[in-house]
Structure 1
Amino acid sequence: MATNFVKLESFDGGNFIRWQRKIHFLLVSLQVAYVLNTPKPEETENETIAETGKRQKFEHDDEISKGHMLNAMSDALFDIYQGVLTARELWEKLETKYMQEDATNKKFLVSHFNSYKMVDNDLLWNNFMKLKEF
């Protein structure tokens, strides 16, 4: 069965939240997103056939999820994260690194915006005062 997917823009370290939402939507569409928040079933000695099937399905879905996440990364990030064992571990590592960077970037942008507004208000006030002198 051949399925056509829209190629996601490669994640290069910027706009993590947007990329994460797109990847999550893709994984939900493939019905494999559960591996991101479900513990892996452990192999037991007296495992039933049903339990073996569940574990194997989880392992397959985990590999599919991890593969799609890695495929949607730039080559440089792929090289860094290809050794991660599970999709959940990859998801958590990316969140830890890039959510903090996104938050820092937003704080930086907001502080510059606030500074700009203050400068803008000062300019407006000075221009108003100059007009008043006429």
Structure 2
Amino acid sequence: MSSVKELTTNFVKLKKFDGVEFRRWKKKMYFLLTLLKVSYVISTPRPVEHENETMEDVREKSKWDNDDFICRGHILNGMEDDLFDVYQHVESAKELWESLESKYMAEDASSKKFLVSNFNDFKFVDGRSIMDQFHEVQRIYSNLKQHGINVDELFVVSSIIDKLPSSWKDVKHDLKHKKEDISLSNLAIQSSD
């Protein structure tokens, strides 16, 4: 239990959701909620009340209510204050989670075009570390994958070679004329040599 306590203490240090990078925040939040063993309330309806409830039925509802309170509280605590103010009145963790998904996943869809444009427009420039620029293009590629935009790695490698600065003309020529396919990680190694 101490590791969960440490995690929740350290979780406060993570960046709070501010309306940007929802998918990343959602994964981190879901991981925390799973560790706390309360994530099930997001997808499981509250146990139904019925006439002849047993003590076990009452305990099950009470546990669900408590876990929903904890889950909802952690989701709200993971937001910047202005978003907290907007969502604090949502009554259940499930409703809160679904509300965030419907708003921010839809916004992510429009950002897909932005991500593709970022990748297409990226050019390596002289005067900056090639490896820093390569890591930047890798991050863009990773964001494409994270948003479900599947781009063949060979296509990405070829595009990166085309994006190398003009001072790398000989390297570009050598890389383009290799007979074997080059992976993204091998391209990084060959570009840094």
Structure 1 residue 103, shift from structure 2 partner: 1.9
Partner residue in 2 for 1:94:
100
> 1:3-82 residue pairs with structure 2 within 5 A?
3-4=5-6, 5-6=9-10, 7=12, 8-82=14-88
Structure 1 residue 74, shift from structure 2 partner: 0.4
Structure 2's unaligned 5+ residue stretches are 124-161, 167-193
User: Could you report, residue by residue, the CA deviation over 1:2-44 in whole angstroms, capped at 9, with x for unpaired residues?
Assistant: 7232113110000000100011000110111111111111222
In the alignment, residue 67 of structure 1 is paired with which amino acid?
G
CA distance in 2, matches of 1:71, 1:79: 11
Q: Percent identity?
A: 52
CA distance in 2, matches of 1:113, 1:51: 54
> How many residue pairs are counted as aligned between the two chains?
122
Structure 1 residue 115, shift from structure 2 partner: 5.2
Task: State TM-score, norm by structure 2.
Answer: 0.57
| Consecutive aligned runs of 4 or more in structure 1 exceeding 4 Å deviation | none
Higher relative contact order (CA closer than 8 Å, sequence separation 6+): 1
3-state DSSP class of the match of 2:49? Answer: coil
Partner residue in 1 for 2:180:
none
Partner residue in 1 for 2:109:
103
RMSD: 2.3
Structure 1's unaligned 5+ residue stretches are 125-134
In the alignment, residue 15 of structure 1 is paired with which amino acid?
E
User: Could you report, residue by residue, the CA deviation over 1:53-111 in whole angstroms, capped at 9, with x for unpaired residues?
Assistant: 00000000000000000001000000000000100100000000001111211212313
The verdict on how the C-alpha distance between 1:19 and 1:116 changes in structure 2, with shifts beyond 3 A counting, is closer
